[in-house]
Chains A and B, each alone.
Chain A
Amino acid sequence: MNRRDFLKNTARVIGGITLPLTAFKIINPRELLASTGDKTKVRWVFLVDTYKCVGCGMCVRACKLENGIPYDAKVTRTWVERYVITKDGKTHADSPMGARDGFTTSKIDLGIDGYEDIKNADIDKGFFVPKLCNQCENPPCVQVCPVGATYQVPDGVVLVDRTWCIGCGYCIMACPYGVRFFHPVYHTAEKCTFCYHRITKGMKTACVDTCPFGARQIGNIKDPNDPVTKIIMTERIGILKEEYGTKPQVYYLGLDREVK
């Protein structure tokens, strides 16, 4: 082999190796979809400002009434947690009836263990954290459904088909955030829908509309001019249980490490 042939063959081999790799990249459907512009222009996300929340629980009441969740049943699609961190480093958390009636006592509800009195002078931090379905990008609840009764709509919301759900409860076990429960009347899996009937009509969710303090906001992360998108892109935000890889789409301002 002379010098000229060697160089020619080397060029051919290198070209042959790199060309199929680049060709492979071009036909990746996901990247193609992203480069040509995704057809769905909407991806619903939620933003909770824990500095603004005062724990009035109006959102929980509104959610129950709007979505037909039996008012006195101990299940709810959204709830508010109270965190009180005392000077001795202990975290005290409660959410009586999901904060349906707000927090009208300084005592922490311990369930069957009664109530714990905390002196105001001992408090280091105290705040409220509203919780709801995270409408994950990789929803584990949907993966485990054996009958295709729960699914993700292209705009990101995870819904439950009440006529198709067999009530096996796998999704309730699979959700790392514990947002799913059995509906006491329909006996099927139930969850927050981001008020799908409202957001698809241009309204806000019931919990957003009834929050007097603007602690809850809903927006479209695919719209760069959406106020919620602007906050998520520019401020310091947190998400819950990032390590599970579910890509939750409820963003929190002022999330403390005690919040799980």
Chain B
Amino acid sequence: MKSHVYRPLWVVLGLVCIILVVRYFYVPKDFGIGRRGYMYGWHRKADVEFWKNYKVKYKGSAYCKDCHSENYNKLMQSPHVIIPCEDCHSPAIDHPVDPQKLQIQKGRGLCLRCHYPLPYPTSGRANIPSIDPDTHNPGTECVMCHNPHNPLEGLK
């Protein structure tokens, strides 16, 4: 057969070789089939470590206990005991080093997350004491009168 018939074949074979060489260097060595087979486990193994090593930001109330024992103990005695510190005080991350001060949420919106009246049957929301924000001292921050660490303590 004439060489012009073979010529495209060599081009194709050359391309295949180039692709195989590029693929060999480009695909990471730890790329492979995991325990769940090709359909669910085809991945780069090092990525599991990436997600395991992701930074933890919410440290939990026990992290706050030692330095802020006064507020912590007060909270433990109040109906707000169920609310973790970081819900209102923002995630601790590496406090007190980074950040030095936490961004405390103080607005009315924070308290209204639970205390806006939504009398839904079949939901725990109906059992929470609530106020109408339009008539209950509008424009005033809740913490001006109420102590969030112990709301039963009485008004300030």
Chain A residues at the B interface, C-beta cutoff of 8 Å: 40, 50-58, 62, 65-67, 84, 101-106, 120, 123-128, 139, 142-143, 148-154, 159, 161-164, 193, 196-198, 200-201, 203, 206, 209-210, 212-215, 254
Give the interface SS of chain A, mostly helix, strand, loop or mixed.
loop
Chain B residue numbers with a CB within 8 Å of A101 are 109, 113
For residue B13, CB closer than 8 A to chain A, the reply is no
Inter-subunit contact B51/A159 (CB<8 Å): yes
CB–CB A196/B121 < 8 A: no
List the 3 closest A-B pairs by CB distance, nearest first: A126-B120, A102-B113, A151-B43
Known A143-B40, A197-B51: A209·B60 in contact at CB below 8 Å: yes
B120 touches A123 (CB 8 A): yes
Give A210 to B52 CA distance when docked, in angstroms. 20
A84 CA to B120 CA in the complex, in Å?
8
Which B5-55 residues have a C-beta within 8 angstroms of A? 31, 34-36, 39-44, 47-48, 50-55
Q: How far is the CA of A210 from the CA of B109 in the complex (A)?
A: 17
A123 contacts B121, CB within 8 Å?
yes
Cβ-defined contact, A142 with B52, below 8 A = no
> Is the beta-carbon distance between A254 and B122 smaller than 8 angstroms?
yes
Interface centre among B36, B50, B112, B125 (most CB of A within 10 A): B125
- Give chain B interface residues in 101-138, CB to chain A under 8 Å: 109, 112-114, 116-125, 128, 133
Q: Is the CB of B122 within 8 A of A52?
A: no
Least Cβ–Cβ distance between B44 and chain A, in angstroms: 5
| Chain B residues within CB distance 8 Å of chain A | 31, 34-36, 39-44, 47-48, 50-58, 60, 82-84, 86-87, 90-91, 109, 112-114, 116-125, 128, 133
A-B CB contact pairs (8 Å), 27 listed: A54-B114, A55-B118, A58-B113, A62-B58, A62-B91, A66-B56, A102-B109, A102-B112, A103-B118, A125-B121, A126-B120, A126-B125, A127-B122, A148-B31, A151-B34, A151-B40, A152-B36, A152-B41, A154-B35, A159-B51, A161-B44, A164-B43, A198-B56, A201-B56, A206-B57, A212-B114, A213-B82
- Considering the chains assembled together, what is the distance between the CA atoms of A104 and B142 in angstroms? 15
A54 and B60 contacting across the interface, CB-CB below 8 Å: no
* Bound-complex Cα distance A142 to B128 (A): 42
A210-B86 in contact (CB<8A) = yes
Q: Which residues of B contact A152 (CB under 8 A)?
A: 34, 36, 40-41
Residues A127 and B120 in contact in the complex (CB < 8 Å), given A102-B113, A210-B84, A212-B87:
yes
B120 x A57 contact (CB < 8 A): no
Q: How far is the CA of A57 from the CA of B122 in the complex (A)?
A: 18
Residues of chain B with a CB closer than 8 A to A151's CB: 34, 40-43, 47
Contact check: which of B53, B55, B116 meets A104 at CB < 8 Å?
B116
Select the residue from A52, A127, A148, A154 with max chain B CB neighbours within 10 A. Answer: A148
Query: Given A62-B58, A84-B120, A254-B122, is A210 in contact with B43 using a C-beta cutoff of 8 Å?
Result: no
Smallest Cβ-Cβ distance to B51: which chain A residue? A196
Contact of A164 with B44 at beta-carbon distance under 8 Å, contacts A148-B31, A210-B87 already known: yes
CB distance from B111 to the nearest CB of A (A): 9
Q: How close is B83's CB to chain A, nearest CB, in angstroms?
A: 5
Q: Are A164 and B58 in contact (CB under 8 A)?
A: no
Of the candidates A53, A55, A62, A163, the one whose C-beta lies within 8 Å of that of B47 is A163
Task: Say yes or no: A54 contacts B123, CB within 8 Å.
Answer: yes
- Say whether B123 contacts A127, CB under 8 Å: yes
Residues of chain B with a CB closer than 8 A to A200's CB: 52
Could you say which of A65, A150, A151 has the most chain B C-beta atoms within 10 Å of its C-beta? A151
- In the assembled complex, the Cα of A120 lies from the Cα of B116 at a distance in Å of 13
Residue of A nearest to B34 (CB): A151
Task: Please indicate the chain B residues that have their CB under 8 angstroms from the CB of A162 in the complex.
Answer: 47, 50
Give Cα A149–Cα B28 distance, bound, in whole angstroms.
12
User: CB-CB < 8 A to B54: which residues of A?
Assistant: 67, 196-197
Identity of the chain A residue whose Cβ is nearest the Cβ of B40 in the assembled complex = A152
